[in-house]
Amino acid sequence: MTGERFTAGVSRDFLDAHGRNVWGDIRLGELDAAGVDWHYLPRDTGELLAADVDGLDAVLFAGPAVTERTFAGAARPPALFARFGVGYDTVDLDACTRHGSLVTITPDGARRPVATAALTLLLAVLHNLAAKDRLVREARWAEKEQWMGLGLTGRRVGLLGLGNTARDLVGLLRPFEVDVVAYDPYCPPETAEELGVRLADADTVMAEADAVIVMCALTEETHHLVDARRLSLMMRTAVLLNVARGPIVDEAALVEALRLRRIRAAGLDVFETEPPAPGHPLLTLDNVTLSPHALAWTDEMSAGNGGSAVRAVLDVAAGRVPRFVVNRAVLDEPRLVDRLGSRAAARTEAPV
């Protein structure tokens, strides 16, 4: 690897059918400026295979899964899989670690856009925005009195997850003078105290909050964290929002709670199966606001996620460990150590 030009592949799901990057500026120009030889992968695929990535030094990707098959038969798998986004539930971290590949995410790029999207969805649900939009489009203006909203000021907001994005949302909520209670067993108490957030168990958050917002990562531990039992703890006037991952919420149980008006409303940017099937009950309910896993899709997110992923690529090209590595055990893998050492040595001899 020493002295060789650093090569990177970019997943093809960034492109439309005409080959245009629909995400806009994701900072790929910084790869050009650094002398990185990059190209879009030839296939638009839901799963990266060895033939797609073998011989590359890094892969910047959004949608495709990274699995054991990504490495099967690969003579020289990438040293880095830089995920454009914060979720990595479709990435086999164990396989990446075994094969000496770093996996990074972009929490610094997604933090503010997702927090803003959560606030947008919260206000839309509380104000019945989707229902009121339908009233105008369907000439049902006279029914507007049936759709009085709820003000946010002074309410209690419950967060399931108090990571970086949720902490950013706490700041955005301050002008509304809300009380914030959160469930996050991994959040240091002193961090919550600095934010003015009360930590509690998940049941307490569900029972006490006027609005519950799902903002945690999808893991085995959080799968169906919001199930029928926890939904039954919510106040009938409360609303549930999910801007994280669909399977954290038991969708069938949520549909039942909404249908029977056991909770006031819901707002979903994510679903258990994406896209939901035609005729899915969620599509027929008038007390749910929906978005196609794209509410945070803005130029701000494109530049933020792209810049963060590109920085990870440039770090590896220079022989440095990137900032947001999620499989830290790989740092002890001899193959990775050798590759980073080779890049660092090459860096001292000539620009990448």
Active-site annotation holder among 134, 293, 323, 335: 293
Which of 70, 77, 176 shows the shortest CA–CA distance to 119? 176
Question: Do residues 245 and 259 make contact, with C-beta atoms less than 8 angstroms apart?
Answer: no
Could you tell me where the DSSP H helices lie in the chain?
29-33, 50-53, 93-98, 107-126, 129-137, 164-173, 189-195, 202-208, 228-233, 251-259, 299-317, 334-349
Pairing of strands 198-199, 211-214: unpaired
Question: Left, alpha or beta for 3 (phi > 0: left; psi -120 to 50: alpha)?
Answer: left
d(CA 158, CA 260): 22
d(CA 182, CA 202): 8
* Stretch (H or E) spanning 157: strand 156-160
d(CA 78, CA 58): 5
d(CA 68, CA 199): 38
Active-site annotation holder among 5, 236, 274, 328: 274
Active-site annotation holder among 83, 155, 230, 245: 245
d(CA 69, CA 52): 11
Is 293 catalytic? The answer is yes
Is 274 catalytic? The answer is yes
51-83: b (≥16 Cβ within 10 Å) or e: ebbeebbbbbbbbbebbeebbeebeebbbbbbb
d(CA 147, CA 124): 12
d(CA 324, CA 4): 25
Whether residue 275 has a cis bond before it, omega within 30° of 0? yes
- Rounded to 10 degrees, the C-alpha dihedral 60/61/62/66 comes to -140
Which of 120, 89, 128, 129 shows the shortest CA–CA distance to 105? 89
**Which residues are annotated as catalytic?**
245, 274, 293
